[in-house]
């Protein structure tokens, strides 16, 4: 198994994904060590107290600081890059900070990993990176380009980079479900547009998908899971059935629907049973042949939240958010 007896560096280690990654990996796999890399001192202390596991190491550090990353990556086998500024409104109001973290931070990850001889690096992206309409999405689109092209910078080095790209994560910071429940206490919730749809995935599903992609990756791929969509009005009714619903209009930088694969990308995408692989357009890629190559997509294919073939029912939504 890819994680067994390996030393893993986890950036953004005390965030929503990072905390769940630590929980799942310690319980299901046998890593040699997980280095939790984050700038949040208090949450690192709280995580250390919660798990009390000798396989955990805690590094105070910022991905903007390449020297600190280099030190943290010494003798590391795998990097899971989850650190980011991710709140849309925060990134819009602080664009330079978003660029320093989401873009310069990715550059630092690539350079530090190559210098340290790390074997595999996988970075977390988002549906907001597809046809981006806000700075957060644009910065994650650039991050994807940097990570994928990191393989070219690695050259004949054995270091390999890949990305995962998926939709809204249930229960993550900024998720709409906790917001609806909090607003419901006032008797009213706000909805931007009643026609809105979103892809949805749970934190644990996200972690397991990242682990699976670490097993599958050859370098340069963007992996996209097949996940269900949900209707915002269904979620509102489940999360706050008694509350008044007020439609306030779409906020700046927000989309009515989200996309995970564009028609342009579909030309070099392979479909598998439970996921898609956006293959890199590198000359060397044709050298890779496996038993499970997947099948090509039809011309004009797009993977969007409003045209999905799998939808969460109200009953499923209720079970998930509880």
Q: Helices (H), strands (E): how many in the chain?
A: 11, 17
pLDDT of amino acid 13: 98
Q: pLDDT tens, 123-153?
A: 999 999 999 999 999 999 999 999 999 999 9
Radius of gyration of the chain from Cα atoms?
A: 20
Domain ranges (residues) in the chain: 7-167+201-226+260-302
Task: Indicate if the pLDDT at residue 291 is higher than 70.
Answer: no
pLDDT of amino acid 9: 98
| Active-site position among 20, 86, 120, 128 | 128
Give 171's pLDDT tier (boundaries 50, 70, 90): low
Q: Are 159 and 117 in contact (CB under 8 A)?
A: yes
Q: Label the pairing between strands 78-81 and 120-126.
A: parallel
Which of 170, 209, 206, 186 shows the shortest CA–CA distance to 318?
A: 170
Tally of residues, the chain: 322
pLDDT of amino acid 289: 53
Which of 252, 248, 211 shows the shortest CA–CA distance to 232?
A: 248
Give 290's pLDDT tier (boundaries 50, 70, 90): low
pTM assigned to the model: 0.94
Task: Indicate if the pLDDT at residue 288 is higher than 70.
Answer: no
Give 168's pLDDT tier (boundaries 50, 70, 90): confident
Q: Are 124 and 81 in contact (CB under 8 A)?
A: yes
Active site residue 128: yes
Q: What does the alpha-carbon distance between residue 94 and residue 289 come to, in Å, rounded to a whole number?
A: 44
pLDDT of amino acid 77: 98
pLDDT of amino acid 201: 94
Which of 110, 77, 121 shows the shortest CA–CA distance to 219?
A: 121
Q: Are 140 and 84 in contact (CB under 8 A)?
A: yes
Give 292's pLDDT tier (boundaries 50, 70, 90): low
Which of 304, 15, 265, 307 shows the shortest CA–CA distance to 163?
A: 265
Q: pLDDT tens, 192-246?
A: 999 999 999 999 999 999 999 999 999 999 999 999 999 999 999 988 888 899 9
pLDDT of amino acid 226: 98
The residue among 173 and 154 whose pLDDT is bigger is: 154
Q: Are 258 and 232 in contact (CB under 8 A)?
A: no
Q: Are 110 and 155 in contact (CB under 8 A)?
A: no
pLDDT of amino acid 239: 86
Write the DSSP string, 262-318. Answer: -TTGGGGEEE-SSEEEE----GGGGG---S---EEPPTT--EETTS-S-B--HHHHH
Rounded percentage of the chain residues whose pLDDT exceeds 70: 96
CATH of 7-167+201-226+260-302, one of 3.40.190.10, 3.30.70.20, 3.40.50.720, 3.40.50.10490: 3.40.50.720
């Amino acid at each position: 198994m890819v994680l067994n007896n390996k030393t893993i560096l986890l950036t953004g280690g005390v965030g929503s994904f990072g905390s769940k990654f630590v929980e799942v990996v310690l319980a299901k796999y046998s890593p040699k060590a997980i280095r939790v890399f984050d700038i949040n001192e208090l949450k690192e202390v709280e995580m250390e107290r919660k798990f009390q596991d000798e396989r955990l190491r805690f590094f105070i550090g910022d991905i903007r600081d390449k020297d600190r990353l280099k030190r943290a990556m010494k003798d590391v086998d795998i990097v899971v890059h989850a650190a980011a500024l991710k709140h849309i409104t925060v990134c819009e109001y602080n664009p330079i900070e978003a660029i320093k973290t989401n873009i310069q931070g990715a550059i630092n990850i690539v350079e530090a990993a190559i210098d340290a001889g790390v074997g595999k690096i996988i970075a977390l992206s988002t549906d907001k990176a597809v046809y981006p309409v806000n700075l957060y999405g644009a910065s994650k689109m650039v991050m994807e380009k940097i990570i994928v092209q990191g393989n070219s910078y690695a050259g004949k080095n054995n270091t390999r980079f890949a990305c995962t790209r998926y939709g809204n994560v249930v229960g993550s910071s900024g998720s709409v479900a906790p917001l609806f429940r909090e607003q419901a206490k006032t008797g009213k919730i706000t909805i931007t547009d009643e026609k809105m749809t979103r892809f949805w995935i749970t934190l644990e599903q996200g972690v397991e998908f990242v682990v699976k992609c670490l097993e599958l990756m050859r370098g340069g791929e963007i992996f996209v899971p097949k996940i269900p969509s949900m209707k915002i009005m269904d979620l509102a009714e489940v999360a706050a059935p008694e509350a008044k619903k007020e439609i306030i209009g779409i906020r700046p930088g927000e989309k009515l629907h989200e996309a995970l694969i564009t028609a342009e990308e579909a030309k070099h995408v392979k479909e598998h049973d439970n996921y898609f692989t956006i293959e890199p357009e590198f000359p060397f890629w044709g050298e890779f042949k496996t038993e499970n190559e997947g099948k090509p997509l039809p011309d004009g294919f797009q993977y969007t939240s409003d045209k999905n073939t799998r939808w969460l029912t109200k009953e499923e939504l209720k079970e998930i958010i509880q």
